[in-house]
Chain A
Amino acid sequence: MMNSLAGPSGDPAIRIERLVVRRGDHTVLPGLDLEVARGTVTGLLGPSGCGKTTLLRSVVGVQRTAGGTVTVLGQPAGSAALRNRVGYVTQAPSVYGDLTVGENLDYFAAVLGAPKGDPDRVIHQVGLDAHRRTPVARLSGGQRARVSLAAALLGHPELLVLDEPTVGLDPVLRQELWQLFRSLADAGTTLLVSSHVMDEATRCDLLLLMRDGRLLAHDTPAGLLATTGAPDVDSAFLALVRSPGQPAEETTETTR
């Protein structure tokens, strides 16, 4: 309901064409193509160091790129018009350790121009009601990560880019957060969530399997298992790595 202002409904939330990112001599993304539909939860899976964070940073528009285009909600990634429509959670919680949970969220809400009750709403959504007055530095790692997530939920962004939001959380909390992600997607929000926990894959509408800066697969969890004949996502990943001539859908027409 909140993206009624968005363009034609077929317009993808994210469209990436031939994205190249280099860091020094190293090419992190050699030419990546991707489309992410609105209102979906897309999981970005792959081993540590495969370029997941770089891809997410490119979508948010904080990554210096060497080629290609990234279009987000119909605008070039990182453009000023997107700054209160895209929420971003980095891997390390980016909140002020010396401020309380409430002070952090009040500040970010003021920067975003979010409605007055928004900090309380997002504190409740991530289950930190009891810690509004606790300094963030005194919270556990998982709680800190949730403060960072709460900050990204302020102002109802249309796209949420989450870099490993469930790291270090116990299974109950992880389940609760995935339920939250699902309800946000049902309300029209698009979510792009990275993880290296393969068992989280089944909770996504679509999966991106990534390795060495390339997408090995872009498919639904069921489709992925069907294509590879593997019993679970972990095995599917291995199967794809071992048979490089077997791309699923729009994968390996990357630059070579």
Chain B
Amino acid sequence: MTTAAPLPAPSPAAAATRRTLATAGRVLAQLRHDPRTVAMLLLVPCLLLVLLKYMYDDQPATFNRIGPELLGIFPLVVMFLVTSVAMLRERTSGTLERLLTMPLGKLDLLLGYALAFGVVALLQAALASVLTIGVLGLDVAGPTWLLFAVAVADGLLGMALGLLVSAFAATEFQAVQFLPAVLLPQLLLCGLFVPRGAMAPVLHWISDVLPLSYAVDAMSRITAQSGAGGRVIADLAVVAGCALLALALGAATLRRRTA
């Protein structure tokens, strides 16, 4: 334990890890001070899934199709909202500028957020999956861990997209408007309403380049087939790749110098 004033210079990697973990801890501490947000993060998806179950009470096949797709969509939507507002606050309150004048790498900050919200995404996915599979009787042919992995990847994708759009919002009103602007088109085209193969070619092409399509495809495949199919892994890779891309673009919007 280092308690004395002159600290031994830690290795750059150890220092970066310390800053990342400190950032994740700080984000989680902020959540801890806001129990209402945490409760809504965790419970709202569960309540919606229960609602869905009773909507399709006499059509179990439909619930079996839509249920898992929603399990992939909820973490993305929720993380998108939380991150875009949290990062916007960080930008407008001046704390981001303060952090960027300190020895905090952009990656330290982004990974710190990813880690903290990743934990929340995992918790949310666990609760929603236990509920849908255990209580509401959803049939999942594939391995449960894969379902979790996809849900967490979706949550991280939502986080990365939220981070990116926060750079283009000046107020919290604007940040919230990015939900319909960025996520609703993906929701309409992801295959939830109309199978992607049945769409007009142009719409199909568009849906092919939208990451949510792969998130939803992965979830449907996991429930439909046993084992970790190559297609599922490929879908998962696309979602993770898009999350990384959005994170990199988001990092580019964190400027140490501003006008």
Residue numbers of A with Cβ under 8 A of B are 23, 60-64, 78, 80, 83-84, 86, 88, 90, 92-99, 103, 107-108, 110-113, 115-117, 135, 151
Contact = CB atoms under 8 A, between A and B. Distances in A.
Contacts of B5: 115
27 contacts: A61-B101, A62-B100, A63-B258, A64-B257, A64-B258, A64-B259, A83-B101, A83-B102, A84-B103, A88-B101, A90-B94, A90-B97, A92-B94, A93-B94, A95-B95, A95-B98, A98-B33, A98-B34, A99-B29, A99-B33, A107-B23, A108-B98, A111-B99, A111-B103, A115-B3, A116-B2, A117-B3
A97 B26 contact: no
B15 interface: yes
A97 B3 contact: no
Contacts of B93: 92, 94, 96-97
B103 A62 contact: no
B257 A61 contact: yes
Contacts of A117: 3
Given A64-B259, A111-B22, 10 more contacts: A61-B101, A63-B258, A84-B102, A90-B97, A99-B30, A103-B26, A107-B26, A113-B7, A113-B10, A115-B5
A62 B97 contact: yes
Contacts of A62: 97, 100-101, 256-258
B19 A111 contact: yes
B104 interface: yes
B198 interface: no
Contact of A96 (B2, B15, B26): B26
Contacts of B104: 111
A111 B112 CA distance: 12
A84 B22 CA distance: 17
B231 interface: no
Contact of B22 (A61, A90, A107, A116): A107
Contacts, number: 91
Contacts of B26: 96, 99, 103, 107
A111 B95 contact: no
Contacts of A151: 98
B4 interface: yes
Interface of B: 1-5, 7, 10, 15, 18-19, 22-23, 25-26, 29-30, 33-34, 93-95, 97-104, 108, 256-259
A69 B97 CA distance: 21
A80 B97 contact: no
A72 B93 CA distance: 26
B257 A94 contact: no
A107 B193 CA distance: 45
A60 B29 CA distance: 29
B94 A83 contact: no
B103 A83 contact: yes
A165 to B, nearest CB: 14
A95 B99 CA distance: 10
A102 to B, nearest CB: 10
Given A63-B257, A99-B30, A135-B33, A94 B94 contact: yes
Contacts of B258: 62-64
Given A23-B259, A62-B97, A113 B29 contact: no
A96 B103 contact: no
| Residue of B10, B93, B101, B256 most packed against chain A (CB within 10 A) | B101
Contact of B256 (A61, A84, A99, A103): A61
B230 to A, nearest CB: 42
Nearest to A77: B257
Contacts of A111: 19, 22-23, 99, 102-104, 108
